[in-house]
Structure 1
């Protein structure tokens, strides 16, 4: 793996110290074996040919030719070909940057950019980047930086309000790990004290950092995940509401009803009845 340090000064008034780690081109014909994984660095993933189903932090995205997805550090993800056709893509690893696709300042696992109107330019600079990092001829570091920053500028010009890149926050990894822990364990009892213990952060600092990172407090995110799962069970099963409350991790049915009402705008029973009416089934 290469390591080409450089400074980004092109996407705002603040400079960001980063390192190009690798650039690779991949080609698959039915032998794809994708597995969930994450990186401590950002990954730029550009589709040259075919279609890919990309899953990141529970969200599914369909990518096709000349789509770019940028995966933030520590965001769990996996990718699979869509169908049985040939898939070609380029991936670039960059350490020291974090993508804010909406410019909102809240955490996001990834950002997607459609680059078909600038495909010729993007592909030119990707080829240059691949060649320079592979051959490592004299001045390859400067040319690699030039190619990568040119790609960023082209995307920024196409999506001026949707691309903000800055240095990762110090607690980004810890907050991402806490989010994944909640996603994997929301059915079990979880407290802020427990989350602080596993993240090795002060619980008040964790609550502040997580809210800044995700857009809500850890406990509100926990309840949101539980309500999301409860909606699926209310829709797809005939389990009693009291059983569903316990299954998704609530300690009491009354607290479940209170949280559900606030999040969805109706009680669990009303939600189930409405969904079944819409589906044309009887209670």
Structure 2
């Protein structure tokens, strides 16, 4: 019997706008082909998808789940999945990417935890919510898209409020659905995304000194196996991924604060200003000082654009 072909996983990194950390992808560009991709993919932020036309299949955690126009999908970061339309169609979508933990950390103080880690335990069918069964979810999601597209006065405040309401509705569904219980079986991270604990750790602790051996231990892998697996999934080394995360955070601080470059380099985890400058120039194409000056002159448009739209070409 031939050996089952191992799925290829792609990492798609989306950089959120600095001034309003919500990324909208919409328009005719965002049509899904009816050709099934051989690659699953995952991304670094939570994804809300709105299907506007046609239907097809979304593969989540090994399940093939049908979708149709009017469905809202929500995919947590680091969860491998793929989508393809029904034969001879090209479903039209809009996507909203954001980090609930970052966006709502000062607002949702009563929420005991954010939803994403628990989504590993759910069934794929629960990642798709139908318009008829969840009209409020649909109205909120489509309203967010329109606010960001039209950019009327105070659109950021309006979109923020709508997005928080949408997230609260997802939390309520999570709380009321017994299959999403915290007591459900833990996800099997020995499969497609064994490195998930490291991605989560770096997202929250990028400013801390850390060794590759420590990261390998988080995944219960040998250092050699961890390095190989990480590069296989991410297309880069653990250290390069850590540094890109640090530089992206540095860009946000360079744009939004008056802190010195030395102070920012220390805040994001670099041990020397020389290593920070060298890494920054390698990723961003210019020095931190030059980038800050250009970003401040670009008013609202500056982004920490390291790997924007990777995977969609």
- Indicate the structure whose relative CO is greater, using CA pairs within 8 Å and at least 6 residues apart: 2
| TM-score, length basis structure 2 | 0.42
| TM-score, length basis structure 1 | 0.46
Structure (1 or 2) with the greater strand fraction: 1
